[in-house]
Amino acid sequence: MASGQDTARPGEEDPGGGALASRSAEARRAAFMLIRTPVPEHPCSAWSEHAADLAHDMERMLVRFPVSPATDAMILRGELVPVVPGVQLPPDLTLHAPLRAVLVGCAVGPALRHHHVVGAATALWVAVGGRPPRPLDLVTTARPSSLCGVMVRQAPVGPEDVEMVGGAPVVVPSRAALDVLRFLPDRALSLITAALMSGHLDPREVDLRLQTIDGHPHARRARERWERLRPGRAVTGPPPHRDRETAHRPLAGLLPSPPPSGTLPPLVRRRDQQEVAPG
């Protein structure tokens, strides 16, 4: 019975003159090339493979509407949450801390470099959540570049100032709070209050950092602001010890390697521990 397919019985010549063999060879070559074709690296791979893995998940949640009056109207109506110009989030999306950290790299895109560290108000937002600050904040030890929707500031950043969240380097809350107190407008102070109330920020660590900035720009301004914000003036004693026995390397070379999971904030877990936490 004829099957309607170009098949050759054993011992007979292929009536298609080798067409079946040719098609099979082409299919094998196509399958081989598909296997060999590398997956394009995400810009977050500049930070780590872990960040790049999370970034592929994050990209599916982003909205990339171009800057236009229609987009602005959607933002005003609360239908979109702006991140940087041309990148938005759905308003009902809840992100846990690792995805918030990686979102910064997704928003920066191909301009992201290994020496960029999430800093200041954006680092506090990574810890406490809410709506992303505008502009986003990055700190670098290299010469800063101009990025749309991102404030890049050059400053010394030591290994003790950085922890890895979702594979992304983020300054620790006390350093982030110090930078906010020194450099950012009053509207950013609400993130310090949120970090204090959520327990991510220990006021004694901020006290210690304020003691190290005598003679630095905006030191007086930072102390005056902190006097208004600091809770529990009766609290004394050193801050609790932060276990930072990590394999950090100087930021002038590569970024620090991820510290043990015990050093990360409560909402952050290593990927090998099924990194899932509420936003």
In the chain, where the domains are located: 43-232+256-273
Whether the per-residue pLDDT at 71 is higher than 90: the answer is yes
Confirm whether pTM is higher than 0.85: no
How many whole angstroms separate alpha carbon 167 and alpha carbon 270? 9
Q: How confident is the model at residue 41 (pLDDT cuts 50, 70, 90)?
A: confident
Provide the 3-class DSSP secondary structure of residue 99. helix
Provide the 3-class DSSP secondary structure of residue 64. coil
Long-range contacts of 14-23 (CB under 8 A, 24+ apart): none
Going from the C-alpha of 73 to that of each of 70, 77, 92, 169, the distances in angstroms are: 5, 6, 17, 34
Q: With b meaning 16 or more CB within 10 Å and e meaning fewer, what string describes 225-235? A: bbeeebeeeee
Per-residue pLDDT tens for 134-186? 999 999 999 988 999 999 999 999 999 999 999 999 999 999 999 999 999 88
* pLDDT for residue 23: 66
String of DSSP letters for 152-211: EEE----GGGEEEETTEEEE-HHHHHHHHHHHS-GGGHHHHHHHHHHTS--HHHHHHHHT
